[in-house]
Structure 1
């Protein structure tokens, strides 16, 4: 029970809230619209699509530990008004469906009372549970020892329900028992003490130190926030949050940090992967198994450990394109003697990657995303290339923007990897479903036209 109490479960709260809302929306209308001749399949799909789209643009599920009840009620009101309008808009286009203002009113009131009660109970339960058990706390440090920094620390102390565990200040300009180190010691302290959030007082940092801390946070999946006690403006997009009346600036998360975006991307991965598995792999796998076995001894599939999201290990599936050897951690080079004759063909056409749709269906990979590097490459380049760690913010992909732009295959120079990372970061920071579709289309085009780096 002690280990459970110390666990971190915030990442599950939004999915739970979204799934609850989807369940309620999918079932509750049936009790009120049974006499209206509504097509259940069409109306359910329409409702869910509209609900998720409205939620995405209104930030309905953006509820944090410092969010106030007033802000939650405001989100509920905006969501309710917009959702009511789209429900009413359904009936003029459904000619066989009867319209009943009374039924719609009863449905909407019941729906939002249910969602409101659940949302508030979840919000309050989390706060009470956090205080009672000491669980789900975020470890934080503050860079700088200004009055604003002191005020923020006092807020952490007084609002225990926010769930911040303060570990100390870092400063080169002041001396105080609460200052645990110099600015040069932040990185080591952060990694050693599993710090989650770094709050920076900009008055004590120059531009180079800010850039250095931002790069460190991105590479190590830490959250960095800025205490606005200066008129300096950073070049990156910032979001301002209020802890009560205390303003804090945060670097904006990537689009794929949004829960609705995650659901859309995951749904796309499941549907696309199932189509490939059912209509391609179902007959292509036995054929490939026969050809591979006839040419060389060994398994049909090659499974290799790769770093996934948050650098968690998973086994990447491929059709075996090499003779069995003990040098699988070495990258393939042109005219590699390990590659079989059939292996040259399936590598050239990327057919060896098809089993990775099983990885995508299992949730270990995505159809589109940064390609998973070897562990050896991961270790080598994470220490030398800025923002390399951002690749692990998302699931690795079967194909990716860097690959369709020509940066695939052998890494001959550091410049090859640097360019690959640039495209990976651009994809992560600018994701959209349309971008995924463009990359898939370009991947198919490259396979048909041929890619000189595919070997």
Structure 2
């Protein structure tokens, strides 16, 4: 057996244990400072002490339910602070509702409540920032690291090892590697266990493809008397995953291979974003839309709006709205002809609308209806879905979220005609990357990129 390792400071006092106490401390300090500013005293009235206790309990419960005290080592700082902000916002709404429905507005200063939440959030968030930056600095300098022993085929363990090096801020280091080159035997299992024991590894990662499930079972049984943490890191070779994660369903653990990120709080954030930003933009563009509608009626006969069925989230069909940019014509049943350069069907004013993407403005009504989002994969014609779903891998997985007016593909130049299979493949790759990496900040980034470079594009005709 190797020499036993002593526990590091962060292992003795893990942040997920320390920070519940720190959050309570932040709330009481924030409440005391707010009371000093509001009432010029640090001696809180008993009803304000009771209010702080209630706020602290709410913070602890909501943080625990949302998992904010877990996965500290591998959670990016921006995600940690974003989740903390949502917790504090939820507490603020809950506290305001309780005060209102209990008719206690005259007994509690609204300024004190607001200042308490603001100061305590700054303290709690600042403490997390200091600890995370401090731990990352220590890990990057070689300290506070957890040694990991890797077991698996050559190509898989090399890929995992590279991931450990690329994410050095997480604080893992390789204590040893066992490359599996054939079936496990009693002798090889015994040798692997001995090597792991001598390595002083704190974690054992079994990195094998799904078809080697029996190997996982065998190794896990062989390591039953070992005190190191054992993790199974499956290798999904040649599989296009989408927002994959672990979950629990019907009392069983599940590996989600392809799921939508728009669940729970994420769904609420996304819809709030669409309503708030969509409403503001709709008001701003209303005069422009009226001018465009008049220009369409004056320049060509036919309706102002073009309506066509598209496929939305989870395959639900809806009518998408656009300003009409073509002369009125009929398509062959089940066929949709994409617009091409110098297309005779496009009116002169319609060509301007398409180049500037102004023909898409009525889709903000689709957004307010809840059938589209401001940011998401662009909805394709139903005939195109039928055509490409057999040609492009994971094509239909882009329908895991609501379609958008703009998207990651569009701001990266993948707009307009998809006259080759490669162009559609590239568009789908960007759509799936967006779904797999969705966040509020990514949406805001795409909206800003659309404002500065996404409206006019040489491929839009």
Q: Distance in 2 between matches of 1:310 and 1:412?
A: 26
Give the CA deviation at 1:58.
2.2
Q: Alpha carbons of 1:265 and 1:322: their partners in 2 closer, same or farther (altered >3 Å)?
A: same
2:418 counterpart of 1:446:
no
Q: Distance in 2 between matches of 1:58 and 1:87?
A: 21
Say which of 396, 401, 404 aligns to 2:408. Answer: 401
2:67 counterpart of 1:58:
yes
Q: Distance in 2 between matches of 1:98 and 1:267?
A: 22
Structure 1 stretches of at least 4 aligned residues deviating more than 6 Å after TM superposition = 49-53, 90-93
Give the CA deviation at 1:447.
4.4
Q: Alpha carbons of 1:313 and 1:50: their partners in 2 closer, same or farther (altered >3 Å)?
A: farther
1:326 corresponding residue in structure 2: 330
Q: Alpha carbons of 1:311 and 1:99: their partners in 2 closer, same or farther (altered >3 Å)?
A: closer
2:442 corresponding residue in structure 1: 435
2:234 counterpart of 1:234:
yes
2:263 counterpart of 1:258:
yes
Give the CA deviation at 1:454.
1.4
Give the CA deviation at 1:277.
1.8
Q: Which has the larger radius of gyration?
A: 2
SS at match of 2:307: strand
| TM-score of the superposed pair, with normalisation by structure 2 | 0.50
| 8 Å contact from structure 1 (residues 308, 314) kept in 2 | yes
Q: Distance in 2 between matches of 1:310 and 1:227?
A: 37
Q: Output aligned runs, 1:155-304, within 5 Å.
A: 206=211, 229=217, 233-235=233-235, 238-239=245-246, 241=248, 248-251=253-256, 256-281=261-286, 283-304=287-308
Q: Alpha carbons of 1:227 and 1:310: their partners in 2 closer, same or farther (altered >3 Å)?
A: farther
Give the CA deviation at 1:435.
0.4
| 8 Å contact from structure 2 (residues 415, 457) kept in 1 | no
Q: Alpha carbons of 1:324 and 1:415: their partners in 2 closer, same or farther (altered >3 Å)?
A: same
| TM-score of the superposed pair, with normalisation by structure 1 | 0.51
| 8 Å contact from structure 1 (residues 367, 397) kept in 2 | yes
Give the CA deviation at 1:315.
0.7
Q: Distance in 2 between matches of 1:98 and 1:375?
A: 50
Give the CA deviation at 1:275.
1.2
| 8 Å contact from structure 2 (residues 209, 235) kept in 1 | no
| 8 Å contact from structure 1 (residues 255, 431) kept in 2 | no
Aligned length: 268
Unaligned runs of 5+ in 2: 1-44, 48-54, 70-86, 100-106, 117-207, 220-231, 237-243
Q: Distance in 2 between matches of 1:96 and 1:238?
A: 41
Q: Alpha carbons of 1:319 and 1:427: their partners in 2 closer, same or farther (altered >3 Å)?
A: same
Q: Distance in 2 between matches of 1:204 and 1:98?
A: 52
| 8 Å contact from structure 2 (residues 260, 401) kept in 1 | no
Give the CA deviation at 1:251.
2.2
2:351 counterpart of 1:344:
yes
2:353 counterpart of 1:383:
no
Q: Distance in 2 between matches of 1:53 and 1:323?
A: 56
Q: Distance in 2 between matches of 1:365 and 1:309?
A: 8
SS at match of 1:58: coil
Quote the RMSD (CA, aligned, Å).
4.4
SS at match of 1:452: coil
